[in-house]
Structure 1
Amino acid sequence: METNLALLLLFAPFAGFLLNVFFGKKLSRNAAGILGTLAVAVSFGVTLFFFLQVNSTKVPVMVDLFKWMQLANFSVDFGFQLDQLSLLWLMFVTGIGTLIHMYSISYMHDDENIHKFFAYLNLFVFFMITLVMGSNLLIMFIGWEGVGLCSYLLIGFWYKNQDYNDAAKKAFIMNRIGDLGFLIGIFIIGYLFHTLDYTVIQTIITEGKFTIDAQWLSIAALCLFIGACGKSAQIPLYTWLPDAMAGPTPVSALIHAATMVTAGIFMITRMNFLFNLAPDVQSIIAVVGAVTALVAASIGLVQNDIKKVLAYSTVSQLGLMFLALGLGAYEIAVFHVITHAFFKACLFLGSGSVIHALHGEQDMRNMGGLRKVMKITFATFLISTLAISGLPPFSGFFSKDEILMAAYHENPVLWVIGSIASIMTAFYMFRLLYLTFYKDFRGTEEQKHHLHESPALITFPLIVLAILALVGGAISLPGSSWLNEYLAPVMAKPAAHHHLDNTAYMLMGIAVVGALIGIGIAYTKYIKKSEVPEPDSKITGLTKVLYNKFYVDELYMAIIVKPVYAIGSFFKNVTEVAISGFIFGLGRAANMLGSEGKTIQNGSIGFYLFVFVAGVCSIIGYIFLVK
């Protein structure tokens, strides 16, 4: 029964994909959306069943289907592992996925290819489930590449716009760079352990069955981290994620809030027993995470596209998660993944509700005053903004505070960097809130005339996510963490229970005061002084540098893209010259032979007879000589 249910969990979204691909065109728009939503809802129901079972029995569900590979002393099984970590991930992947599918029924209603959109969403969820459920690194890699493919399809869904196609290609290519590192890491682990199965590798490490080369182990961990940098948008492979906002807003919410970008955190947490043996790599992860959090937050300070602000916010929050991973605080990273999934999905869907009401407008300079006509969207957006800003009692306060507390005890410099990034987060999120929902409306009269609250299919998911953003921190309260106890069986070094002391209260106070400072600055600028960001042409100085994202894209274009194009153009020209020279040379030789040969066709009967006799004599002579 467990095997059948696990297969139902996996293949329900795939069935939705197939049905929408082959029959979706014949269905009504709502029917295609309902079909796609039900497919993911079935997976959520099965996940909930397994989650309650494993939470009760503490025994993971292992599904071994067949022997996949057997090569000398290396073997890989095709199976699935439903333990505490994978089920926790599946809960918010399928749960939030269901809400986003429901939201998309209304949001994408007028799109002519709505059936294709839901097919791609279902396929994405299928590959994400594969990534999370797999019992070894090779199955994870299948899902890893699958979500990369689906992100390409979804980001470039509106393919008639070439800029969107370019954004999709950018995401695909930058992810392939990271994936190469991931693949090399898999090869090294296969060589070291003769298997890719998580439980077998962990058993070998914990029981010390044979000596493992520490240097190669560190190289493998570093390669896995490179893969995580690509998928989870860390420096230097982060620039694809803000451009991925080209896709429809539900895509942004699904891929960049709760699923694909958390794959890197999942992989490192899953392999925590390996990373614990590579402290140098952990230090690199912590530093990269902290720097990414700071850089992305600073860029988000001045962005004017509502989705771009949220995109850089996602990169920054992912940086904080990697900071926790680098400190060995895997449970804290998972905690922030969960709370982030709640409030960031709500924020993305809320921005989509605003864009929907303004008929595609995304520039916050042309918004304002929307709280008067979009009360549900505003209320849910406010709750999620308070959560991401780290104010109590909202969920983000607890998870972000845990990360900063761990950083303070391990590396005060990283704590300072993380704290500054958090203050910036509070500022730019309330900047977004004030510019979008407060003061007077700054759009066109036509937009103002059509302002309205979004339909129930859009507001219902917002309400559910806002409630989760409010109460989600309860899963890991200071001094009493259900999450830490739940994850203990899958952690090589389970988190120690800590008690609140004066230092903890001091750090909480500093975090809250920092958030209030950021909010206060935003309030002064955009409410008291009623400032509105200047037009692009008037932006100067440091603001211009931040607005242009430190010119990283231009730098990559100059030192990587253009040289690659130049090399490709060189070899293209050389190849064309070589091939054309060879083929045209053959053609010229044939023409020359033809030109010379036609001179003997002069119409002289005597010459023809002479050649005929000479030929016959040559043949006869050759025959006699051979005999």
Structure 2
Amino acid sequence: MQTDLHLFAAAILLPLAGAVVAGLGGRLMGDTLAKAVTLLCMGAATVCGIGALWGGWTSGFGPYAVPLADWVNAGGFHATWTLRFDTLSVTMSAMVLCVSLLVHCYSVGYMSHETMPVYRFFAYLSLFTFAMLMLVSSSDLIQLFFGWEGVGLASYLLIGYWYDRPAATAAAIKAFVVNRVADLFFIVGIGLIYVLFHSVRYDEIFAAVPQAAGAFYTLFGHSFPMLEVICFLLFIGAMGKSAQLFLHTWLPDAMEGPTPVSALIHAATMVTAGVFLMARMSPLLEVAPNTRLFIIFIGATTCFFAATVGMVQPDIKRTIAYSTCSQLGYMFAAVGVGAYQVAIFHLTTHAFFKALLFLGAGSVIHAMHDEQNMFRMGGLWKKLPLTYGVMWIGSLALAGVFPFAGYWSKDAILNALWAADGRMSHYAWMLGVITAFLTAFYSWRLLFLVFHRAPADVQKRDAAHESPLFMSVPLVLLAIGAVVSGLVLAPYYIGAQQSAFWQGSIFNAPGNTIMETFEQVPGVVALLPSLVALVGIALAFLFYIASPGLPEALARSCGPVYRFLLNKWYFDELYEHIFVKPYAAIARFLWKDGEEGAVEGLPRDLVRATASGAVDAVRLQTGSIALYAFTMLAGLVVVLTVALCG
């Protein structure tokens, strides 16, 4: 077991080593050597991560602690840098490492023609991976928050990598600001946890949950269950990082970054941090039923919202981005009904097929000379046969078609929502089934527009060619994961072996039997998601192959609805009027009237008064002795008069 723990520590630290060497020494080493260093470190880290997973699988996951160093020692508060070796942390780490390694390899080919320094890009990728690994391997909330903010910083750097493009810098700032709003709630939640439990360590917090279940928090004269308040605050933090409804607006804009960034951040890692947080905090959520109802509502509504927007987006990357937002909604809905293992199962399978779709889209964009509008593509299936094949695999997995990965995990979520047997869970199930139809529709809309319809630009189509080996190999490996990961992992994540596999790293209260009952839903309920997915595929074929004029006619006849969806339910415009413009007006007032008018104006006015007084004083200096004598005499008369009258 000691060997497994050492492998786990190496897996966490090696990406940091690659980031430091490439980031600090890249200018001297050059891009080629910097890429080689980061790839070598990521490869070694992935081998160590898989070795640690295998060791835990065969010998047991503990949990075990891997102490690295003292961190914070202030007064009575003491926090150490300690890695947590349990099923949840090790499986998440292995998944992150595998996807990140493939993204690093893919980036070698994708960024080969980049004119800006590429060593920075690879350093940022490795830094992001290290921060995500710190997050999932944390043993306390301080380390988790460190990783949480680390992925936020690294995503800012990666989204804004092309800093000479105004759209990219604006998207990076937007992602950073929106996440800071959510993180404020998260850090307040951590503070309340420390107030209630006098600790930030998971083991100590979870052990004290039964004693804290009766604690209340008073706000504005009203009392609220303390654990409900804490879980609500933590979930708001998760909503920002995982782009849930109301805090989702940063995600589509983040597509301004390079495509490998989209695959890494928006498929397998950063956006899933919120789901991981909820699974890690399962002992608290189990005694916060009202918060779980709120999680179901937000997850299901996000699921449906993002799918409706994805149906009409012209940009290939934005379509896949909204798909990510929708799939995250499924995961949170599963968390809400207490099926945390099912949520993590979908998180894992989704990492493979969504990274595959993003990288496949990158291959198309690369072949089309940076074109991202799907309506300017078409007829590419013969020119990009490998990309075409893997995009079909990714879409089949996303749509939940048997036996691809998404079938096992997404259908398990829908079955769990039905089995939970409550109004909110049935609301989520209904929206989830509708979303399954919409998902299949927009997935095949993408395939038909990009690969099958008549090419909009024949010259670009004829010049397109398959991606180089560095880009093709990751696509093939991710496609294998999209095919087999659901079938291979199902027995351990949701089957008979799941209880022994998770070994308490995810907690289900004695009254929470969802993991046993979700497999007992009626056959028609279990079959319905697959049926509606096939209907969605057939409808996409009708719209974009059989009758290609139908979508345009429908958009004209349903103009308001089409514009509503195309403009993403007008969330950006709404926030512009509610938050951005008032904030800008207040900032302008404080700048012009406050800083320039008062802070800078007061010294300026004093200077003017002093200068004016000096000018007046100079006028008194006439050089006439008679005038001076008369003035002195007048002053003497005044003084004597005052003295005598007093």
Structure 1 length as normaliser, TM-score?
A: 0.92
Secondary structure of the 2:164 match is: coil
Does residue 560 (structure 1) correspond to residue 593 (structure 2)? The answer is no
Does residue 203 (structure 1) correspond to residue 207 (structure 2)? The answer is yes
Residue matched to 2:166? 162
Secondary structure of the 1:64 match is: strand
Cα deviation code 1:44-90 (max 9, x no counterpart): 12212221222222223312344544566654333111211011110
Of residues 502, 508, 513 in structure 2, which corresponds to 1:493? 508
Q: Is the 8 A contact 1:428 1:522 kept in 2?
A: yes
Residue matched to 2:468? 455
Q: Is the 8 A contact 1:331 1:484 kept in 2?
A: no
Does residue 146 (structure 1) correspond to residue 150 (structure 2)? The answer is yes
Q: Take 1:314 and 1:106, find their aligned partners in 2: how far apart are those partners? A: 24
**1:312-331 equivalence runs, <5 A:** 312-331=322-341
What is the letter of the counterpart of residue 61 of structure 1? Y
CA displacement at 1:589 relative to structure 2? 2.3
Of residues 9, 15, 22 in structure 1, which corresponds to 2:11? 9
Does residue 405 (structure 1) correspond to residue 415 (structure 2)? The answer is yes
**1:257-276 equivalence runs, <5 A:** 257-276=267-286
Q: Which is further off, 587-596 or 328-337? A: 587-596
Q: Is the 8 A contact 1:221 1:278 kept in 2?
A: yes
Aligned residues: 613
What is the letter of the counterpart of residue 426 of structure 1? A
Q: Is the 8 A contact 1:33 1:104 kept in 2?
A: no
Of residues 62, 65, 68 in structure 1, which corresponds to 2:65? 62
Does residue 420 (structure 1) correspond to residue 434 (structure 2)? The answer is yes
* Alpha-carbon distance change, 209 to 328 in structure 1, aligned in 2, over 3 angstroms: closer
**1:80-159 equivalence runs, <5 A:** 80-112=83-115, 113-159=117-163
Does residue 586 (structure 1) correspond to residue 599 (structure 2)? The answer is no
Q: Is the 8 A contact 1:154 1:251 kept in 2?
A: yes
Secondary structure of the 2:253 match is: helix
Of residues 34, 37, 44 in structure 2, which corresponds to 1:35? 37
Q: Which is further off, 82-91 or 593-602? A: 593-602
Q: Take 1:545 and 1:210, find their aligned partners in 2: how far apart are those partners? A: 44
Unaligned runs of 5+ in 1: 613-627
Q: Which is further off, 415-424 or 498-507? A: 498-507
CA displacement at 1:603 relative to structure 2? 4.5
What is the letter of the counterpart of residue 316 of structure 1? S
Residue matched to 1:256? 266
What is the letter of the counterpart of residue 545 of structure 1? F
Q: Take 2:74 and 2:520, find their aligned partners in 1: how far apart are those partners? A: 57
Residue matched to 2:443? 429
**1:227-626 equivalence runs, <5 A:** 227-410=237-420, 411-445=425-459, 447-474=460-487, 475-477=489-491, 480-493=495-508, 498=516, 503-531=521-549, 534=552, 540-575=559-594, 576-603=596-623
Structure 2 length as normaliser, TM-score?
A: 0.90
**1:219-234 equivalence runs, <5 A:** 219-234=229-244
Secondary structure of the 1:370 match is: coil
Q: Take 2:457 and 2:34, find their aligned partners in 1: how far apart are those partners? A: 34
* Alpha-carbon distance change, 216 to 71 in structure 1, aligned in 2, over 3 angstroms: farther
CA displacement at 1:132 relative to structure 2? 1.1
CA displacement at 1:120 relative to structure 2? 0.8
Of residues 206, 212, 226 in structure 2, which corresponds to 1:216? 226
Q: Take 2:470 and 2:11, find their aligned partners in 1: how far apart are those partners? A: 25
Q: Take 1:409 and 1:18, find their aligned partners in 2: how far apart are those partners? A: 49
Residue matched to 1:18? 20
Q: Take 2:466 and 2:528, find their aligned partners in 1: how far apart are those partners? A: 38
Q: Take 2:153 and 2:502, find their aligned partners in 1: how far apart are those partners? A: 30
CA displacement at 1:580 relative to structure 2? 3.6
Unaligned runs of 5+ in 2: 217-223, 633-646
* Alpha-carbon distance change, 406 to 7 in structure 1, aligned in 2, over 3 angstroms: closer
Residue matched to 2:642? none
CA RMSD in angstroms comes to 2.7
Secondary structure of the 1:454 match is: coil
CA displacement at 1:192 relative to structure 2? 0.3
Q: Take 2:579 and 2:163, find their aligned partners in 1: how far apart are those partners? A: 26
CA displacement at 1:588 relative to structure 2? 1.7
Q: Take 2:498 and 2:35, find their aligned partners in 1: how far apart are those partners? A: 34
Q: Take 1:375 and 1:339, find their aligned partners in 2: how far apart are those partners? A: 24
What is the letter of the counterpart of residue 339 of structure 1? T
Q: Is the 8 A contact 2:383 2:462 kept in 1?
A: no
Q: Is the 8 A contact 2:282 2:507 kept in 1?
A: yes
Q: Is the 8 A contact 2:52 2:90 kept in 1?
A: yes
Q: Take 1:98 and 1:53, find their aligned partners in 2: how far apart are those partners? A: 21
CA displacement at 1:604 relative to structure 2? 5.9
Q: Is the 8 A contact 2:378 2:461 kept in 1?
A: no
Cα deviation code 1:169-194 (max 9, x no counterpart): 11110000000010000000000000
CA displacement at 1:92 relative to structure 2? 1.0
Q: Which is further off, 307-316 or 211-220? A: 211-220
Q: Take 2:343 and 2:584, find their aligned partners in 1: how far apart are those partners? A: 39
Residue matched to 1:176? 180
What is the letter of the counterpart of residue 390 of structure 2? T
Q: Take 2:109 and 2:25, find their aligned partners in 1: how far apart are those partners? A: 20
Give % identity: 40
Secondary structure of the 1:523 match is: helix
Q: Is the 8 A contact 1:188 1:220 kept in 2?
A: yes
Secondary structure of the 1:109 match is: coil
CA displacement at 1:593 relative to structure 2? 3.0
Q: Is the 8 A contact 1:54 1:61 kept in 2?
A: no
Cα deviation code 1:333-357 (max 9, x no counterpart): 0000001001000000000000000
* Alpha-carbon distance change, 432 to 280 in structure 1, aligned in 2, over 3 angstroms: same
Secondary structure of the 2:381 match is: helix
* Alpha-carbon distance change, 117 to 69 in structure 1, aligned in 2, over 3 angstroms: closer
Q: Take 1:181 and 1:509, find their aligned partners in 2: how far apart are those partners? A: 40
Secondary structure of the 2:82 match is: strand
Q: Is the 8 A contact 1:182 1:224 kept in 2?
A: yes
Q: Take 1:237 and 1:527, find their aligned partners in 2: how far apart are those partners? A: 36
What is the letter of the counterpart of residue 514 of structure 1? V
Of residues 35, 43, 46 in structure 2, which corresponds to 1:44? 46
Secondary structure of the 1:62 match is: strand
Secondary structure of the 1:371 match is: coil
* Alpha-carbon distance change, 28 to 405 in structure 1, aligned in 2, over 3 angstroms: same
Q: Is the 8 A contact 1:30 1:109 kept in 2?
A: no
CA displacement at 1:578 relative to structure 2? 1.0
CA displacement at 1:465 relative to structure 2? 0.5
What is the letter of the counterpart of residue 95 of structure 2? F
Q: Take 1:91 and 1:458, find their aligned partners in 2: how far apart are those partners? A: 21
